[in-house]
Structure 1
């Protein structure tokens, strides 16, 4: 009887231990589940955004472009058109377009003047924009294209020819632009935005190597919105036929008469096209508040620097108008509350789970 009682107690203890281990294993699963949920709430949204960005990337088109240079091409330049001609002189140059797809493709060939976009980057892709008064010469008037639009068969190539005629009056500096190849796609019903991959080959034309002095001019300050974000911008002009590159900028906004910055942003490697003007904005990441402010911009490279100081006033009517649609402040606040609420709910559920697990273990 003693041996049987001992074996019975040992068996009962083993069964209780198995049951305890089973419960412990289940609790570990529940804990991992809730822990994964907590991680997802904290970081999941950012992960989904990154995954979407990666999956949406595609190969940049099924065609290639190759420049064929004329006799005026500078010998040291081989990857873009870089020509030097005398006044009234002319030259021919070409572009070979190769369709690597199985189907015919239609392309539009543009000759564009270089301009500067709001990010402080030289842009060759804009065919229509407000020109600066200093832009006296237009590449569209100097260069003729024999095929503004053409169709190239599958796995075939076509050579586009350009004829350049220099103006009668001599000029110093450079003319800067680009040859842009843009696929023409038919609009299909039921489809959203379609990716169009364009190719651009820069085009630089000069008559001499006479140095051109650098000049930048600061203009008016205005407030506005870009993609529902409040921003302040200043007009910047480059009235000279000279490319301004490798500029670093400091952008500071203060209340008028005060020194504490409300906005203090640095931007690097800015570039400004010759004879161009653009709006250089900074985002506030906040609502507009009525009042008078001072906007200070410092632009500099290794050799020169420019400083622009402008006062501007935000009217109450303007502030109210833009703040009604601004996402800078309200969106961030709402998202933070939602995030904290979800984290709190998850922690509360974990506490309840541990409470009942502790009671059952006892």
Structure 2
């Protein structure tokens, strides 16, 4: 089960209301061997209902569907309202993708990727619905999943998401007086596999690397965004990653960034953020070496990509990150130039005075002509 938490923060002394979205993703046993427990945040839970059969397996807390092209099966989804009041919920089907935080996401976005041929959400019906659940009651909704008729290898990834419908976020006050408002939504993954079709291995690549602003604990800072692409219907589980950036012609330049968890969905692409740290962006030619590894390092993928940063882009994103230009080198140069001018002028004036003294030192004495 995927938990999506939206947090609103309001400080009492701030004049205007700022909306801050924070997505906290908790994956327990996703596509793995551990059963998923229903989460309880937001006073409701969801979980798969019914029993596993030849077409739909729910043993791991997700819907694993295997069937012939065009075959339809039912999915049971249980929604437990832990509040005492009747509540409205919204359901929608989703195609899985990887967001720019490197986590799996399931929403009603129409996922776009050059390798994506089938939207998983199109295999689910209804695609969206609103329903009521009385207080302290469990409701079961029935969904249909149809294995696409179009032939495909590997596994399609999607999900079903439940969220409160038109409810105000509940607030709590932190120790420093900050008002925190939370909204929760939950998703259960759906995998679809065609009977008789082989599994496929991930095929990762770095499409582009561009300078930009990247999110850090200190806010948005200068760095680069590497667009990572998986072109196959495959999922390798949670990966660790290591990015190493070097600069051509400068052996002293090196940036290393480690990532503990990256979930790359099938046929998806996302921007991996590589912060520049204390270094400012400088123009030049660079190289990115990006390494992904499975848990335990049993499998790994090494991706390489050359890229360039222009003077304009470096200046633009350094400025947007709040970095002020360092003119120390200019001040030093101007100081050296001024000192050179002063010294040169002093030497010139000194030589001119010496010349005058040598040429006119006896000028007050009359010149006598010698008689023969």
TM-score, length of structure 2 as denominator length: 0.65
Matched with 1:93 is 75
Q: CA deviation at 1:251?
A: 0.8
Given that 1:229 and 1:328 are in contact with CA atoms closer than 8 Å, whether structure 2 keeps it comes out as no
- Residue segments in structure 1 that go unaligned for 5+ positions in a row: 1-57, 331-362
Are 1:132 and 2:125 counterparts? no
Given that 2:204 and 2:303 are in contact with CA atoms closer than 8 Å, whether structure 1 keeps it comes out as no
Q: CA deviation at 1:103?
A: 1.8
| SS state at 2:199 partner | coil
Given that 1:113 and 1:127 are in contact with CA atoms closer than 8 Å, whether structure 2 keeps it comes out as yes
Given that 2:155 and 2:199 are in contact with CA atoms closer than 8 Å, whether structure 1 keeps it comes out as no
Mapped partners of 2:192, 2:111: distance in 1: 21
**Any residues of structure 2 matched to 1:177-216 within 5 Å, and which?**
177-186=158-167, 194-208=181-195, 210-216=198-204
The match for 1:326 among 306, 318, 321 is: 321
Q: CA deviation at 1:59?
A: 6.5
Matched with 1:35 is none
Mapped partners of 1:129, 1:87: distance in 2: 23
Matched with 1:166 is 147
What's the CA shift string for 1:117-176, capped at 9, x where partnerless? 22322223x321542121111122111128611122222332211111222233221111
When residues 130 and 144 of structure 1 are mapped into structure 2, their CA distance, relative to the original with a 3 A threshold, is closer
Mapped partners of 1:68, 1:76: distance in 2: 8
- Residue segments in structure 2 that go unaligned for 5+ positions in a row: 1-38, 173-178, 326-372
| SS state at 1:324 partner | helix
Are 1:217 and 2:205 counterparts? yes
Given that 2:283 and 2:314 are in contact with CA atoms closer than 8 Å, whether structure 1 keeps it comes out as yes
Q: Please state which structure has a larger fraction of its residues in strand.
A: 2
The match for 1:273 among 261, 265, 289 is: 265
Matched with 2:293 is 300
| SS state at 1:195 partner | strand
When residues 259 and 297 of structure 1 are mapped into structure 2, their CA distance, relative to the original with a 3 A threshold, is farther
Residue-pair matches, total: 271
Q: Please state which structure has a larger fraction of its residues in helix.
A: 1
Given that 1:228 and 1:327 are in contact with CA atoms closer than 8 Å, whether structure 2 keeps it comes out as no
When residues 314 and 78 of structure 1 are mapped into structure 2, their CA distance, relative to the original with a 3 A threshold, is closer
Mapped partners of 1:329, 1:116: distance in 2: 34
Q: CA deviation at 1:246?
A: 4.1
Matched with 1:108 is 90
RMSD: 2.9
TM-score, length of structure 1 as denominator length: 0.67
